[in-house]
């Protein structure tokens, strides 16, 4: 295919005339196919040149329109600027005319200055000074207001921060109080339902007392109605405080010592009803595995008369026999909260060991192994069964 040449300016009419001539020739050529093809190729070339010419013409028209629009906008803006300038000039000219129309003392007064110095003269009257002073005062007042506003804003922020902190503290305090109340409520519930609330009672003695004192108390409880006497645990607040003081001097833990005394009382008092001030206190010493009897001198004489063969050995003598390395001056080492004066009256009776089950069965080491192997309940049952063959036990001694 032949590349069409670029058409020059003013050729559109000639190209159209040639196209019309080619169209007439193609209509007249009905037999020769080669000539028809040649005419068709020439027509295509002319059409291509005509299209290029039209495109160039359209581009030229578009560029001309853009330049015209730009020139029109520029002319419009210059016209507006000119109108504004004329308005300003007219306005200021009018104001100058009005100013010149009003005479003042400066326009009518004769000034005693040279003509060349008139440009350096500044005309100031009293009103101008007053206005300047007023403007300066207003500026100072505005600055003072701004400074005071900033100070008040800062103080307001500080107060707001303090209020927020106080509100936060109050909220946290309320939450803490609610937690404390809930904890106290739980503690109160536990205290109300605790079996230790009212101290040691008959229903809990079997749990708290050592085994020999449990056996003693069981015999006393079984004979309570028939013999007219009763048994109870002994341990007052003063005795507990004295024991805690001695334990503290010995270097023991006060809390552990007090808990040991409260949870495991080590003495049982048996009182005969009807006889004034006649009572027996039984103290169990775990280190020696002994039950010692404490009673007034009159009762001690009656016990010795009832059992001549068993006079009752003092605690000091029993300590020297079983623990030669221990000094009798260190009686506070004994696990009992009896006062020091009461320790002097403690006696070791053989019948007391039998009543409490210590003189029945195997030795202490065997009893401990049996309690470990068979359990506490089995040891209690075996000890009580052995006591049934020893006679009346505590009741026989008291009677």
Q: Which of 86, 102, 7, 3 is nearest to 51 (CA)?
A: 7
Number of H helices, E strands in the chain: 16, 6
pLDDT for position 383: 52
pLDDT digits 0-9 by tens, 43-74:
888 788 888 888 888 888 898 989 998 988 88
- Distance, CA of 87 to chain centre: 75
pLDDT digits 0-9 by tens, 191-206:
556 544 444 444 445 5
Mean pLDDT of 1-9: 42
Q: Which of 200, 218, 208, 207 is nearest to 383 (CA)?
A: 218
pLDDT digits 0-9 by tens, 269-304:
666 554 555 677 787 776 677 888 888 777 888 888
CA atoms of 290 and 316, how far apart (whole Å) = 13
Reading phi first (left if > 0) and then psi (alpha if -120 to 50, else beta), residue 312 is in left
Q: Is the pTM of this model over 0.75?
A: no
For 338-352, b/e burial (b = at least 16 CB within 10 A) is beeeebebbbbbebb
pLDDT for position 198: 46
Query: Chain-wide mean pLDDT for the chain?
Result: 70
- Give the Cβ contact number of residue 18 at 10 Å: 17
- pLDDT above 90 covers a percentage of the chain that reads 7
pLDDT digits 0-9 by tens, 91-134:
888 888 877 776 655 555 555 555 555 555 556 667 778 888 88
Beta strands in the chain (DSSP E): 229-233, 267-272, 279-285, 290-294, 313-314, 347-348
Please tell me the least confidently modeled range out of 4-18, 228-242, 279-293.
228-242
CB 289 within 8 A of CB 322: no
* 347-348 and 313-314 beta bridge pairing: antiparallel
Position with higher pLDDT, 1 vs 326: 326
pLDDT for position 154: 92
Mean pLDDT of 82-90: 86
Neighbouring residues of 1: CB distance < 8 A, sequence distance ≥ 6: 41
Per-residue pLDDT band for 342 (boundaries 50, 70, 90) equals: low
Position with higher pLDDT, 19 vs 198: 19
Question: Rounded to 5 degrees, what are φ and ψ at 180?
Answer: -65, -40
CB 280 within 8 A of CB 270: yes
Task: Look at residue 158 and tell me whether its pLDDT is greater than 90.
Answer: yes
């Amino acid at each position: 295919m032949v590349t069409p040449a670029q058409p020059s300016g003013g050729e559109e009419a000639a190209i159209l005339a040639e196209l019309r001539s080619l169209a007439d020739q193609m209509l007249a050529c009905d037999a020769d196919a080669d000539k028809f093809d040649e005419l068709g190729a020439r027509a295509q070339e002319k059409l291509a040149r005509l299209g290029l010419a039209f495109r160039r013409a359209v581009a030229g028209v578009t560029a001309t329109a853009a330049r015209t629009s730009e020139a029109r906008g520029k002319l419009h803006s210059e016209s507006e600027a000119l109108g504004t300038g004329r308005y300003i000039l007219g306005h200021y000219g009018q104001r100058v005319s009005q100013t010149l129309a009003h005479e003042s003392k400066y326009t009518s007064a004769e000034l005693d200055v040279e003509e060349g110095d008139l440009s350096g003269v500044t005309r100031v009257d009293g009103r101008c000074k007053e206005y300047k002073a007023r403007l300066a005062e207003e500026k100072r007042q505005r600055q003072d207001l701004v400074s005071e506003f900033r100070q008040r804003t800062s103080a307001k922020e500080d107060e707001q921060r303090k209020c927020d902190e106080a509100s936060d503290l109050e909220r946290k305090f309320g939450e803490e109080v609610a937690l404390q109340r809930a904890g106290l409520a739980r503690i109160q519930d536990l205290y109300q339902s605790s079996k230790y609330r009212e101290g040691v009672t008959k229903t809990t003695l079997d749990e708290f007392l050592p085994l020999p004192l449990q056996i003693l108390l069981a015999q006393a409880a079984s004979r309570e109605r028939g013999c007219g006497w009763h048994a109870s645990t002994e341990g007052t607040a003063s005795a507990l405080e004295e024991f805690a003081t001695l334990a503290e001097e010995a270097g023991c833990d006060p809390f552990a010592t007090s808990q040991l005394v409260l949870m495991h009382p080590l003495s049982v008092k048996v009182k005969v009803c009807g006889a004034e001030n006649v009572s027996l206190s039984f103290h169990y010493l775990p280190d020696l595995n002994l039950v010692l009897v404490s009673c007034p001198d009159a009762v001690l004489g009656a016990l010795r008369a009832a059992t001549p063969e068993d006079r009752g050995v003092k605690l000091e003598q029993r300590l020297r026999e079983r623990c030669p390395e221990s000094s009798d001056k260190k009686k506070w080492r004994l696990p009992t909260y009896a006062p020091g004066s009461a320790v002097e009256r403690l006696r070791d009776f053989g019948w007391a060991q039998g009543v409490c089950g210590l003189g029945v069965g195997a030795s202490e080491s065997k009893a401990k192994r049996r309690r470990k192997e068979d359990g506490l309940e089995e040891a209690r049952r075996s000890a009580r069964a052995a006591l049934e063959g020893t006679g009346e036990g505590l009741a026989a001694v008291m009677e």
